[in-house]
Structure 1
Amino acid sequence: MPTDLHTILGDLVSVNHRLTRVAAHAANNPESPAVWRTLSVLLQSGSIRLGALASRSRVSQPTATKLVSHLELRGWATRLADPLDARVSQTAITPAGEAALLDWRSELAAALLPMFADLPADDVATLERAISILRDRVERSDPSDPSGLVVPFGAAS
């Protein structure tokens, strides 16, 4: 009997989180997962106000402020004047931040490669197709909707 879509989607989210944790542990990168999640949101959204960044990153505004300060110190993000309101600023990823994020994603992929290296070509093709479907669905979601999907490490960019 086929599994229903609701169960499949729940399993997908669960396995994705586990896969991300396994990859992050194997890569042994010292940065917090919140740093990479925040850079991923910035890459996906472009410059963004702090409150929206906090919402999309699923952290409190004080935590987002600390994350942005850390990213600024690393040269991975910058604050820009908000063109609509001079009292607030927006945060944007820098080229160095984008390079760091892409390097981290490459570290994750390299860490997972031994686990998947023996997959038959048909299974690799299935993974490629699944990624295409997921990317399409995520990109069609409204990024301003707090219930929208934010991909932790992979296919969003």
Structure 2
Amino acid sequence: MTRDDDLQRLILAVHALARIAALDTQNDAPAAQWRTLKLLREHGPQRVGDLATLSRVSQPGMTRLVHQMESAGLVARGIHADDSRVSVVSATEEGLRELDRWLAALSAALAPHVADLTDAEWDAVRTSADALALRVGMQPELAR
């Protein structure tokens, strides 16, 4: 197997785990919603364009997502402190509570699927997660 094969298998396995979690939790919210709330918690209020860059999605896509999340009470728009012409998006208290609930549900849903991993396998998962998190702009300690 090549390194490309390893990365492809990793990506497919992570996607499969995400799908399993979505089915097990019966959560039909888009994964981008949870990623956006996590980014807002980690980085604080953001302009829509900056949030799109952090999330690696298009600005129009992020604008649509923010509108949906704002309608659901998960985020709020405010005025930028330095430029009143610019709006910023921040997570609401309700949005952060929902994120915490989803993360707990996600962990519970995934636990049975990884319960038999050995300590060495967990070390490999942690090492891989940290290495890849750094390469996509996340801090390892924030990725955990």
TM bracket, shorter-chain basis: 0.7 to 0.9
Do the aligned residues in 2 keep the contact of 1:39 with 1:97 (CA within 8 Å)? yes
Bigger RCO (CA 8 Å, 6+ sep): 1
The structure-2 alpha-carbon separation of the partners of 1:3 and 1:44, relative to structure 1 and needing over 3 Å to count, comes to same
User: Structure 2 length normalisation: TM-score?
Assistant: 0.76
Deviation at 1:92, TM superposition (A): 1.0
Matches within 5 A, 1:132-143: 133-134=130-131, 138=133
Q: Which runs of 5+ in 2 are unaligned?
A: none
Q: Which of 107, 110, 113 is matched with 1:112 structurally?
A: 110
Do the aligned residues in 2 keep the contact of 1:72 with 1:78 (CA within 8 Å)? yes
Q: Which of 8, 28, 31 is matched with 1:30 structurally?
A: 28
- Kindly indicate whether residue 81 of structure 2 is the aligned counterpart of residue 48 of structure 1: no
User: Structure 1 length normalisation: TM-score?
Assistant: 0.71
Aligned to 1:145: none
Q: Which of 84, 87, 98 is matched with 1:86 structurally?
A: 84
User: What is the aligned-residue identity percentage?
Assistant: 35
Deviation at 1:50, TM superposition (A): 0.8
Q: Distance in 1 between matches of 2:119 and 2:14?
A: 21
Q: Aligned-residue CA RMSD in angstroms?
A: 2.8
Q: Distance in 1 between matches of 2:17 and 2:96?
A: 22
Do the aligned residues in 2 keep the contact of 1:44 with 1:156 (CA within 8 Å)? no
Say which SS state the counterpart of residue 48 (structure 1) adopts: coil
Q: Distance in 2 between matches of 1:100 and 1:64?
A: 19
**Number of residue pairs the alignment of both structures matches:** 142
Write 1 or 2 for the structure with the bigger share of helix.
Answer: 2
